[in-house]
Amino acid sequence: MDVGINKYDLMRSICQDSLVDFVKEFWEVLVPDEELIWNWHIKYLCDELQQVAERVIAKKPKEYDLVINISPGSTKSTLASIMLPAWMWSRMPSARIIGGSYSSELSMDLSRKNRDMVRSEKYQKMFPNIELRMDQDVKSYFANTSGGSRYATSTGGAVTGFHAHLIVIDDPLDPGLAVSEIELKKANTWITETINQRKVDKTITPIILIMQRLHQNDPTADILRRAKEAQRNAVLQGNEDAPMRVKHICLPAEVSERVHPPELKKKYVGGLMDPVRLSEEVLNDIRPKEYLYAGQFMQWPVPVGGGMFKIERLAIDVPPARHWQQIVRFWDKAATEGGGAYSVGVKMGKDEQGYYWVLHVCRGRWSSEVREERILQCAQIDGKDVIVGLEQEPGASGKTDVRTTIKMLAGYRIKAVCPSGDKTQRADPFSVQVNSRNVRMAAGEWNTAYLEELEFFPASTYKDQVDASSGAFDLLSTPVIRAGGPKRQYART
């Protein structure tokens, strides 16, 4: 009896049944000089990856796309971009796989490691039916004789002519460029409009996105937002049991409310996701770099302890039924319809006890004509006791725009303001009051978007609500002395 053949026959069956066992068996092939350091998250992620792949192998419609957020140095690329494709070929030799990362160098390196594993003596003995084609065997694209292939691309890259049974996107954003609006838009558009169209069957082919969080509007946020909108629309159309078509796994380095699913918190040891790879000593070296630590390790790209605004100190409450010292609505205007910045009107008041209240936010991407209609409508609803503040942009066009609005609002109290300093400087006085628990907010459907912008500011995708709030607060907190008496009043024109 040939013992060697029996051994490989036995291991073949075990590895084909379990991605976890495949990883354990082939780790030495990939990293011959390093022992596999086991942690609970490896098995958990392997099981989740296998669950998605099993439906592809069985040619069943996908239940969801998979989004995984986890720290660097957690073997995420090894599992998703190297081990998973090699394992999938052992079960489905005809599988066509697309792998993408933020740079061609990274995506080709992961592809090369995947190819080296398939070429290895151990893999070939265990899966002798997987034979690479000699005429299609380069790092960026290699194929086997059963019709399977693996194509490596980068964010923004063309994938013309290739269609996949499985798409794995591994770190689509360069951490050094994540604050760039251009790079964010490129990554999100590439995933939704390019990669999303390169599927053998749209009902079956899943997308697996595995990355560290880098920005409020990074691909994780974009995919989750689109999935929630699709679910909400399905519910509105009568499908009350519409499922969320994206499964989100979030594993921050330290236990927090961001852990998802929440039941995984009990797997953390001493509050740490991986006490060996990401020990307290390792994390202590990274914590001083607040933005890096918050995004890449805690999976929430806001500095530790909050950004400029500590939104947990902004209480949502019922506005007082008493007289107000003053109420204003300040407008930060934009003229782009359907995209770009928002036009925002923040209504803010100061009560008799000196607390500031954010009472309402009117926000939208409107044409200039529709925007002016909204400003007039809000003024009519607010009443003539409410001062209307207008941010006047520099230059002749800014003056003309403000004069047009003032003319439209004849009969209302208006204050035009030429802002000085950048948005962060202007927001500082308001943030001090928020962080000192001197600001409260009326409940409304606009609360979520408002709080999110404040929480991420100044790294937030949009800054219009903060800018309008800064203007409103400035009007409320800067009284002037009018000629004819010492009484302190708020400026108006």
Instruction: Specify if 303 maps to a domain.
Output: no
pLDDT band at 292 (very low <50, low <70, confident <90, very high): confident
pLDDT band at 469 (very low <50, low <70, confident <90, very high): very high
Same domain, 201 and 149: yes
CATH code at position 233:
3.40.50.300
Same domain, 142 and 172: yes
Same domain, 474 and 332: yes
DSSP secondary structure of 122-160: HHHHH-TT--EEEEEE-SSEEEETTS-EEEEEETT---T
Distance CA 39, CA 74 (A): 9
CB contact at 8 A, 465 and 343: no
Looking at residue 103, what is its pLDDT? 94
Same domain, 291 and 318: no
Looking at residue 451, what is its pLDDT? 92
pLDDT band at 79 (very low <50, low <70, confident <90, very high): very high
Same domain, 265 and 337: no
Length of the chain: 493
Task: List residues bridging with 363 in a β-sheet.
Answer: 344
Which tens digits make up the pLDDT trace of 115-166? 999 999 999 999 999 999 998 878 789 999 999 999 999 999 988 889 999 9
Same domain, 259 and 331: no
Which tens digits make up the pLDDT trace of 171-196? 999 988 877 778 899 999 999 999 99
pLDDT band at 487 (very low <50, low <70, confident <90, very high): very low
Number of domains in the chain: 2
Same domain, 97 and 157: yes
Instruction: Specify if 235 maps to a domain.
Output: yes
Q: Is the pLDDT of residue 430 over 60?
A: yes
Kindly state the percentage of the chain with pLDDT values over 90.
Answer: 71
Looking at residue 1, what is its pLDDT? 41
pTM: 0.73
Instruction: Specify if 306 maps to a domain.
Output: no
Instruction: Specify if 302 maps to a domain.
Output: no
Same domain, 333 and 405: yes
Instruction: Specify if 397 maps to a domain.
Output: yes
Q: Is the pLDDT of residue 365 over 80?
A: yes
Q: Mean pLDDT score of the chain, rounded to an integer?
A: 90
Q: Is the pLDDT of residue 337 over 70?
A: no
Q: 378: domain range?
A: 311-489
Looking at residue 269, what is its pLDDT? 97
Looking at residue 339, what is its pLDDT? 60
Choose the weakest-confidence range: 65-69, 77-81, 262-266, 447-451: 447-451
- Stretch 4-25: mean pLDDT, rounded? 88
Q: Is the pLDDT of residue 338 over 80?
A: no
Last-in-domain residue among 297, 329, 361: 297
CB contact at 8 A, 213 and 256: no
Same domain, 117 and 222: yes
Looking at residue 341, what is its pLDDT? 81
Instruction: Specify if 305 maps to a domain.
Output: no
Last-in-domain residue among 270, 297, 324: 297
pLDDT band at 422 (very low <50, low <70, confident <90, very high): confident
Same domain, 277 and 408: no
CATH code at position 395:
3.30.420.240
Smallest CA-to-CA distance from 423 within 386, 382, 465, 381 is with 465
Q: Is the pLDDT of residue 209 over 70?
A: yes
Q: What angle do CA 73, 74, 76 make, to 5 degrees?
A: 105
Q: Is residue 315 classed as helix, strand or coil in its secondary structure? A: strand
Looking at residue 491, what is its pLDDT? 37
Same domain, 114 and 231: yes
Looking at residue 488, what is its pLDDT? 37
pLDDT band at 484 (very low <50, low <70, confident <90, very high): very low
Q: Is the pLDDT of residue 489 over 70?
A: no
Last-in-domain residue among 297, 330, 365: 297
Q: Is the pLDDT of residue 335 over 80?
A: no
pLDDT band at 442 (very low <50, low <70, confident <90, very high): very high
pLDDT band at 80 (very low <50, low <70, confident <90, very high): very high
Same domain, 18 and 86: yes
Looking at residue 331, what is its pLDDT? 96
Distance CA 195, CA 405 (A): 45
